[in-house]
Amino acid sequence: DVKVTQSSRYLVKRTGEKVFLECVQDMDHENMFWYRQDPGLGLRLIYFSYDVKMKEKGDIPEGYSVSREKKERFSLILESASTNQTSMYLCASSGGGGNQPQHFGDGTRLSIL
């Protein structure tokens, strides 16, 4: 079974802090994704990556950056956290070929105070 692990289930940070959310997958997947999920807005794509050191902007990249130094790890960085970034963050991965299912982690519920 595919395992996507997000480092924290719950996280509380303060406005202006630099925040790191980590995601690791164990299936040698090429593709990795970061979403945020908000009531009434559904899942929105922040960034994705199709290969090591490669990144592409999703629908809402403002205020975020990502890092993929190793194939199995995809980090989401909030450069200067703001209260409107309080949300559920979900990481996903999928195999190459563009036609593989996405597998999700359990999510990180981030609160910015």
Partner 1 sequence: KQEVTQIPAALSVPEGENLVLNCSFTDSAIYNLQWFRQDPGKGLTSLLLIQSSQREQTSGRLNASLDKSSGRSTLYIAASQPGDSATYLCAVLINDMRFGAGTRLTVKP
Which range, of 12-20, 41-49, 62-70, 73-81, touches partner 1 by CB under 8 A?
Answer: 41-49
User: Cα separations (Å) of 103 from 4, 80, 82, 90?
Assistant: 7, 29, 28, 10
Which range, of 12-20, 36-44, 64-72, 75-83, touches partner 1 by CB under 8 A?
Answer: 36-44
Question: Taking a C-beta distance cutoff of 8 angstroms, is the pair 49, 30 a contact?
Answer: no
Cα gap 14→88, rounded to integer Å: 16
Q: How far is the CB of 56 from partner 1 (least distance, A)?
A: 9
Question: Taking a C-beta distance cutoff of 8 angstroms, is the pair 33, 91 a contact?
Answer: yes
Cβ proximity to partner 1: between 17 and 37 the closer is 37
Residue 1 binding partner 1, by CB under 8 A: no
Interaction mask 47-66, partner 1, x per CB under 8 A: -x---------x--------
Three-state SS letters, 72-95: CEEEEEECCCCHHHCEEEEEEEEC
Q: Binding residues for partner 1, per CB under 8 A?
A: 4, 6, 33, 40, 42-43, 45, 48, 58, 90, 92, 98-99, 101-107, 109
